[in-house]
Chain A
Amino acid sequence: MNPSSSKQESLKQRTQRSTKTLFIWTFSWVASLAVLSFGPKFIWDFNMIFSAMAILGNLVLGYKMIMANKEHLLAMDEMHQRIQLEAMGISLGVGLVIGTSYETLEDIRVISYEPEISHLIMVMAVVYMIRIILGYRKYA
């Protein structure tokens, strides 16, 4: 006997909807970042008004992506929320520690190039993915 067939659908539908929403806003934010990065040089010749509009658009879409990510997290069940929160907590901590150390490396002349934020984002993304995999294995 199936004790309830409608609720699993609601969880599934909830997760699917939040994933779709998160994908849309993430894609929009990445697209706006591309416009912000390449638009001034290749499209509007560093016109300040257009650049300001691109920055504003990027920030608004970034805010929508953050909110969509929060809703995506809330749509999960409690075990998946815990896995996500553990991964986010670890990647945030690693980002803080590695980021501050990395930024100092140029100041103390350990490295000769300027630290790039993209390197830090890549490190955080890798740590996040590893923790997600470990989290799923932990509770499997």
Chain B
Amino acid sequence: MKNRLKVLRAERDWTQADLADALDVSRQTINAIEKGKFDPSLPLAFKAARLFHMAIEDIFQDGGV
């Protein structure tokens, strides 16, 4: 699954640790999600969407389509 977390984070000048703080996960998890190595659960995706005031599909895209 592709995502725009890294771009959205950079736009706000947040570090991975800052984003991890906000989403209540570890920095390693944010790193893995940004690299596309780990797909977040739906609740975590919703949390990210709420944080960035965006729709989930504007942040996460299915890489298989």
Interface residues of A (CB under 8 A from B): 1-8, 10-11, 77-80, 82, 136, 138-140
Contact A79 B26 (CB under 8 A): yes
Q: B41 is contacted by which of A2, A3, A78 (Cβ under 8 Å)?
A: A78
Q: CA A97 – CA B28 in complex, angstroms? A: 33
Task: Give the chain A neighbours of B25 by CB distance below 8 A.
Answer: 11, 77-79
List 13 interface pairs A-B (beta carbons < 8 Å), by A numbering. Answer: A3-B18, A3-B21, A8-B17, A8-B21, A10-B24, A77-B26, A77-B29, A78-B41, A80-B26, A136-B28, A139-B37, A140-B28, A140-B37
Contact A2 B14 (CB under 8 A): yes
Interface size on B, residues (CB 8 A): 24
With contacts A1-B12, A3-B14, A4-B22 taken as known, whether A78 is within 8 angstroms of B32 at the C-beta atoms is no
Interface residues of B (CB under 8 A from A): 12-14, 17-26, 28-29, 31-33, 37-38, 40-41, 44, 51
Task: Give the chain A neighbours of B28 by CB distance below 8 A.
Answer: 79-80, 136, 139-140
Task: Give the chain A neighbours of B41 by CB distance below 8 A.
Answer: 78
Q: CA A3 – CA B3 in complex, angstroms? A: 19
Task: Give the chain A neighbours of B17 by CB distance below 8 A.
Answer: 8
Q: CA A140 – CA B28 in complex, angstroms? A: 7
Task: Give the chain A neighbours of B33 by CB distance below 8 A.
Answer: 79
Contact A11 B38 (CB under 8 A): no
Task: Give the chain B neighbours of A136 by CB distance below 8 A.
Answer: 28
Closest to A79 in B: B29
Contact B22 A3 (CB under 8 A): yes
Task: Give the chain B neighbours of A6 by CB distance below 8 A.
Answer: 21
Task: Give the chain B neighbours of A2 by CB distance below 8 A.
Answer: 14, 18, 21
Task: Give the chain B neighbours of A8 by CB distance below 8 A.
Answer: 17, 20-21, 24
